[in-house]
Structure 1
């Protein structure tokens, strides 16, 4: 007669062990998703930390706004100035850089603006503007959009005219628009290499230090509410700077090419 209570007691001990993994929300850039790297990292995070990461895929600006509102537990973005302002305002306790890649200037192989002849990234942008060659801007306050605006500023101009086409969309949708128009566009390298609809577009300018593209992880300040999963966000952060993350990030290839480099340094 005592077997049922004993079995119930045993199950009550085992149940916490088989409980569902904790879920946290992380706002991430479209480039992180479009690159294909998210599909590699997120399952391993769940496997090794017990944290299921729900991705909210938006541009950097929107990701930071979600963090500011306390609607996500962490953000993963790529715009250092905006990130540092986010931390300074108290929306995150700190930022942790953990990997980088680079931006590239894409355009039609015919290269009507002679971008390939430019010596610097700002000069490449100047040539596009001088030729009034069609240029697609993400126009969405993303990290890529912020980087593009910084290049125009370095070139000493504010782009305007019918040749300049802000589309207010993510990286993949913006690339589709640029390909359809035969227009120039700034993209992160990983998304471009993982993009199927290349048509007669190619990388026309690359390699300038101004095109460096750092990604960082920012846990949202837990003071914003008891609903925030600070412990889970901390576990994910520790994993992102681990040897396992390094091997996966450095080992990720698109078309045989390494597209991200691990760098867990402040």
Structure 2
């Protein structure tokens, strides 16, 4: 009888242990841009996904260049970024697979209310950059190889201006920190609208240039190629990709409206 009781206890303990193991959430490592994190979008999206799929998403929020580098090194399972040329190269070089469009927002030029370069209300970003350079006004650059930094450098090149001197500061920081710097130094900066919205009240910076078609800012999600890094969680990556591009995920993105303003617009097909 004692042996039977002991056996029953062992079986029950094993069953409980198996249940506990089954309940452990799957960990998914996501590298992404500071804009998705600083804006509050990830805090809005991920808890819903995690609860639905019994997963835990560990987020590394950096510039797009670093986010893709983490994928290239196999340090993450999936990446959500906004620099299409760099994304296409990442896939073409065999580091990523299953890229999908997710959403877009837009870039704006933010600056102090005094507007020393007299560019407020403009819709031509190249003309605005030329005026900023010619006025001697301060400009803070991300300087971190992020999607925003890549776009800013492309604008300067297209404008025919090589920014230099003490009024052009390369911060090597994330978007939120750069916005704080711009406010402190009464400087201009290029920013995505979502992060600007999250920091507007804190910084007091104003939107001075917006609406240029070249300021369109699309985001894509890419799984790290398991053929290159067999240890990555490809199953988890696909779970996140499939959910964020599903009708539910896309509706959740559209419903993200801090202070009543929609900051991201879904584009998955």
Residues 23-172 of structure 1: pairs in structure 2 closer than 5 A: 23-116=27-120, 118-172=122-176
Q: 3-state SS of the aligned residue for 2:97?
A: coil
Contact (CA 8 Å) 2:123, 2:211: kept in 1 or not? no
TM-score by length of 1: 0.94
Give the counterpart of 1:260 among 240, 257, 264: 264
Give the stretch that moved more between structures: 164-173 or 151-160: 151-160
Contact (CA 8 Å) 1:51, 1:236: kept in 2 or not? no
Contact (CA 8 Å) 1:86, 1:92: kept in 2 or not? yes
- Change in CA separation of 1:243 and 1:4 when aligned onto 2, cut-off 3 Å: farther
Runs of 4+ deviating beyond 6 Å: none
Contact (CA 8 Å) 1:49, 1:236: kept in 2 or not? no
| Aligned residue pair count | 264
Contact (CA 8 Å) 2:123, 2:209: kept in 1 or not? no
Residues 194-233 of structure 1: pairs in structure 2 closer than 5 A: 194-195=198-199, 196-199=201-204, 201-233=205-237
In the alignment, structure 2 segments of 5+ residues that lack a partner are none
Equivalent residue number for residue 26 of structure 2: 22
Task: Give the Cα–Cα distance (whole angstroms) in 1 for the partners of residues 212 and 189 of structure 2.
Answer: 16
Give the counterpart of 2:183 among 169, 179, 200: 179
CA positional deviation for 1:112: 1.4
Higher helix fraction: Structure 1 or Structure 2? 2
RMSD of equivalent CA atoms: 1.6
Task: Give the Cα–Cα distance (whole angstroms) in 1 for the partners of residues 251 and 15 of structure 2.
Answer: 37
TM-score by length of 2: 0.93
Give the stretch that moved more between structures: 168-177 or 219-228: 219-228
In the alignment, structure 1 segments of 5+ residues that lack a partner are none
List per-residue Cα deviations over 1:150-208 (Å, max 9, x = no partner).
Answer: 11122122211221111000011111110000000011111111114223x20011111
Q: State the structure with more CA Rg.
A: 2
Q: 3-state SS of the aligned residue for 1:187?
A: strand
Task: Give the Cα–Cα distance (whole angstroms) in 2 for the partners of residues 114 and 215 of structure 1.
Answer: 31
